[in-house]
Chain A
């Protein structure tokens, strides 16, 4: 009996044990995955780690564009149990107006909205306090926001980003792949209170690469300021400035007018032209600045030389039914150098006709016109150069004076750099470093011979000398300068004729012998004589080039005080006659007589010609022609002479001429 009872008891205990064991097996083995998933879903959180977008810096390391973290507080009005309490909590934590917040929450709930942005940029502490409260109707969204700390500075280069922080213009768009950060993911094991206990990084976040541009922030600021001031003063509707290092193609500044602020989204009343980069995307007819290419092609392919005399007639030329006039009267017979200095249209056309269509077309393209420069900015225009087979009879004369061709400011800077860099084409570049790694400068390509480039530099110096169209606005104190002005009439497409508004341009570089900077200034839509390149664009060149040479610490190559020269106050003409009667300055070393010189000059003897403003080659040629003896000193252009012009020359007396740049 007892044994039976014991057996029954044992059986019951066994059954009970078996039940427990089977439950264990069920929990630990059969449904293990299900319960493990459940536990993981409650204990683990997957957090997305945002990677910041790459910072864009200028060449000195100053940030031009950077992303900063933001915490947005979002509420689901439909899930809020008590709007009053919610408004109390949120207004206290986020330091907001309680009544206003309550009204907005109420309106959002009544309109059926499930998403309501309470505060877009909450402080980290505020966000953490709200996270700790663990309300299911509050969501804290972490993100990054792009900022441009200098406002409109370099906006046309930097571009901007959209609401998803994707580049939609400028460098932000063209180098989106490098700038974009790759977010990471992390699994966090939390306790019952939601505190992190352990974490495992699934994917490491990869921040976007930092880009260092070739732009100098200080120079960019000066370029934009001067361009804006001059555009407003001259009534120009747009304009651009490009500052470039001709030796390596670094773009030190690229300004476009009108400006805009990339921190502000586009508004309905904004000027659509403001977002165009006029230096790269808006081509224009360059006008007289293009004569540099014409003359360079002539030096390369013909027997024409700077001293070759060109008959510029009485101020106009008629070719194939089209009459082209000079800007300021007729020049008669002048040298090729003077054709450039005075910007003679007739002279340039005759030089261009000598070059010929095929060679002109070849050199226009060699100088980079008609194709993109390759700069990493979207929407770069290649300009327009007609194919040779589409040239008409008037194309060659038109192109010789910079019409019937459209170019961008950057293309002009690239072309000027060829002359400045001894005939070598160096592609402009904007990126100095990518992610800390230096980007190699492009290899130069020879376009014209070094001798041609040197001759062009000397001729272009004449433009800023007395009598040149760029004098005195383009002169720099302490530095020799070479340049060319341009005043192209704007063609009215609707009316199909040229108007009296201009694209006033100036291209220049300094110093002359080893140029450190090339500056191209363009103002579009100027009016009258004061809208010409020499009056409108050259002053901007002066200020920007002065500042650039100071920032780059370029040593001076001229004395600080240039030899005093006076110019007749005539805005329309700048011919040599206006300055030929000037007396010489105070006592100078050249005024000391030569030992053994004859005491007096015979009557009826030769008079000393005026060499002022002429190059050494011209002076020596002219002296040889007249049988005069000249002692040159220095190099460049004749500044002082003794005896002075017009004085009677004693027999055997030599003329001392001082040259400088």
Chain B
């Protein structure tokens, strides 16, 4: 039969046994030498497999679901590895931004404290008081009601 192995085998033999042209038998001087693989004929064989039915294999179905399950587990594992890392990174962004914001606010507070000190300087207070026609109290004129150190809170002017 002209199957592939036969063909391959023939081809190998044909290659291996390449010989010079053999002289024709004496009784037919005009007969051509046979061509290589002259006696090999290919033909198409129609095979009707329409009545062929795959036999039911219950184990294959389970294997399919197993594969799906395995893939799902792999996915979960992968997500479980990547998602925390991603979440950590996102939280890291927020944290660093908050740290920067904290530093900025602390610096801003120092700047504001300086401005406050400049506004409350004795020289400026004196000039403002003079503009408002205010004078410094005399000794004993101011009575501090809370009894604490003289810090200006809750004072009574006699």
Shortest CB–CB separation between residue B40 and chain A, in angstroms?
A: 20
Which of B104, B122, B138, B151 is packed against the most chain A CB atoms within 10 Å? Answer: B122
8 Å CB contacts to A: which residues of B82-111?
89, 92-93, 95-97, 99-100, 104, 107-108, 110-111
Query: A149 and B118: CB pair below 8 A?
Result: yes
What string of 1s and 0s marks CB contacts (under 8 Å) between A476-494 and chain B? 0111000000000000000
Question: Total contacts A to B, CB within 8 angstroms?
Answer: 88
Give the Cβ gap from B107 to chain A, nearest Cβ, in Å: 4
Find the A residue at minimum CB distance from B89: A197
Chain A residues 543 to 571 lying within 8 A of chain B, measured CB to CB, are 546-547, 549-556, 560
Instruction: Please measure, in the bound complex, the distance between the C-alpha atom of A268 and the C-alpha atom of B108, giving whole angstroms.
Output: 35
A221 within 8 A of B: yes
Q: Are A147 and B114 within 8 A (Cβ)? A: yes
Closest to A66 in B: B114
- Residues on B with C-beta less than 8 A from A607 are none
Q: Is the CB of A69 within 8 A of B96?
A: no
A198 and B117 form a contact (CB under 8 A): no
Closest Cβ of chain B to A465, distance in Å, is 20
A279 to B86, CA, bound (A): 67
Chain A residues near B114: list those with CB within 8 A: 63, 66, 68, 147, 149
Are B110 and A195 in touch, CB under 8 angstroms? no
Answer whether A68 and B118 are a contact pair too, CB < 8 Å, given A196-B92, A550-B137, A554-B139: no
Q: How far is the CA of A371 from the CA of B106 in the complex (A)?
A: 45
- Residue A52 interfacial (CB < 8 Å): yes
Question: In the complex, what residues of A have CB within 8 A of residue B117's CB?
Answer: 62-63, 66, 149-150
Contact of B140 with A by CB under 8 A: yes
Of residues B97, B99, B107, B108, which shows the largest number of chain A Cβ atoms within 10 Å of its Cβ?
Answer: B107
Q: Which of A506-557 contact B (CB under 8 A)?
A: 546-547, 549-556
A183-220 residues at the B interface, CB under 8 angstroms: 188-189, 191, 195-199, 217-218, 220
Q: Are A63 and B113 in contact (CB under 8 A)?
A: yes
Q: Across the interface, do B92 and A197 meet the contact criterion of CB distance under 8 Å? A: yes
Interface string of A2-34 (1 = CB under 8 A from B): 000000000000000000000000000000000
Return the CB mask of A119-155 against B: 1 if under 8 Å, else 0. 0000010000000000000000000000101110100
B126 at interface, CB cutoff 8 A: yes
Query: What is the CB-to-nearest-CB distance from B104 to chain A, in angstroms, rounded to a whole number?
Result: 5
A interface secondary structure, majority? mixed
Q: Are B140 and A221 in contact (CB under 8 A)?
A: no
Taking the nearest CB of chain B, how far is it from the CB of A470, in angstroms?
Answer: 19
Q: How far is the CB of A126 from chain B (nearest CB, A)?
A: 12
Known: A52-B110, A62-B117, A221-B123. A196 touches B139 (CB 8 A): no
CB contact under 8 A between A69 and B107, given known A149-B114, A196-B100, A198-B96 = yes
B107 partner residues in chain A, CB cutoff 8 A: 68-69, 124
Enumerate chain A residues within 8 angstroms of B104, measured Cβ to Cβ. Answer: 124
Give complex CA distance A189, B140 in Å. 64
Kindly state the separation between the CA atoms of A575 and B108 in the bound complex, as whole angstroms: 64
Residues of chain B within 8 A (CB-CB) of A354 are none
Given contacts A149-B114, A149-B118, A197-B89, contact A549 B96 (CB under 8 A): no
* B contact residues around A660 at 8 Å (CB): none
Q: List 28 A-B contacts (CB under 8 A).
A: A62-B117, A66-B113, A69-B110, A124-B107, A147-B114, A150-B117, A150-B118, A153-B123, A189-B92, A191-B89, A195-B93, A195-B96, A196-B92, A196-B93, A196-B96, A198-B92, A198-B95, A198-B96, A221-B122, A221-B123, A221-B126, A477-B139, A478-B140, A479-B139, A549-B139, A550-B137, A550-B139, A553-B150
Interface residues of B (CB under 8 A from A): 89, 92-93, 95-97, 99-100, 104, 107-108, 110-111, 113-114, 117-118, 120-123, 126, 136-142, 144, 150-151
